Chains A and B, each alone.
Chain A
Amino acid sequence: GESVGLHLPTLSVQEGDNSIINCAYSNSASDYFIWYKQESGKGPQFIIDIRSNMDKRQGQRVTVLLNKTVKHLSLQIAATQPGDSAVYFCAESYQTGANNLFFGTGTRLTVIP
């Protein structure tokens, strides 16, 4: 949901392990969700998206799960690599006819070699 003032959750994982990053979204009317990865000094990079008529979607090494009942989104990264270290944001979209995104606070993922 909307970012409010921010203590950034952190997650540290060993290289090769799987990572799970969670996000609680705010609006039950949201029907499109995106995960972005942001590395230091760069803009957010699209990872994967999911529409509300799905509960799971897989990409390369990533899986997004959507639980509309509890308004929860998760991003699973398989075999986490040092290059996966970044801040991960979930974003939701719910405004009809508009494509402005509402971002979560982000989670900092640190991969330990």
Chain B
Amino acid sequence: KAGVTQTPRYLIKTRGQQVTLSCSPISGHRSVSWYQQTPGQGLQFLFEYFSETQRNKGNFPGRFSGRQFSNSRSEMNVSTLELGDSALYLCASSLRRGREETQYFGPGTRLLVL
């Protein structure tokens, strides 16, 4: 079974631009979560989508948003990029919701904001 895939793998943007990242979960998985990883803050939860609805949200500004499609694929969008948004953005999928569901991560999209 194919793992979680994320596109693009690398991205360079400038301040003020917006960016959209894509995530395809493991086949059959319905929950998709997004995380931001930086050297300074580590791995932090952004939000979770299940059945096309955002179910849970971390402590990030409204510039960070996402959506999920009927095939469970998900996108996240960051508007008005700031230098501090440079990070590795990770997507994780799990079969169901619930705090004992194992999440499997994709390789991430590395975003550099100049």
Contact = CB atoms under 8 A, between A and B. Distances in A.
Interface stretch (A62-70, A77-85, A87-95): A87-95
B104 A46 contact: yes
Contacts of B42: 2-6, 103-106
Given A102-B45, A105-B42, A43 B107 contact: yes
A51 B100 contact: yes
B75 interface: no
Interface string B27-44: 000010101000111111
A43 B90 contact: yes
Contact of A99 (B40, B44, B98, B105): B98
Interface of B: 4, 31, 33, 35, 39-45, 48, 55-56, 58, 90, 92, 94, 97-108
A43 B33 CA distance: 13
> Top 7 closest A-B pairs, CB basis?
A3-B42, A43-B105, A103-B43, A93-B99, A100-B45, A98-B56, A44-B105
Interface in A39-67: 41-46, 49, 51
11 contacts: A3-B43, A36-B105, A43-B105, A45-B105, A98-B55, A98-B56, A98-B99, A99-B33, A99-B94, A100-B48, A103-B42
A113 interface: no
A36 B102 CA distance: 11
B40 A6 contact: yes
Contacts of A42: 107-108
A99 B101 contact: yes
Contacts of A93: 99-100
Of A32, A46, A99, most B-chain CB atoms within 10 Å:
A99
A2 B94 CA distance: 21
A98 B97 contact: yes
A36 B104 CA distance: 10
A34 B101 CA distance: 10
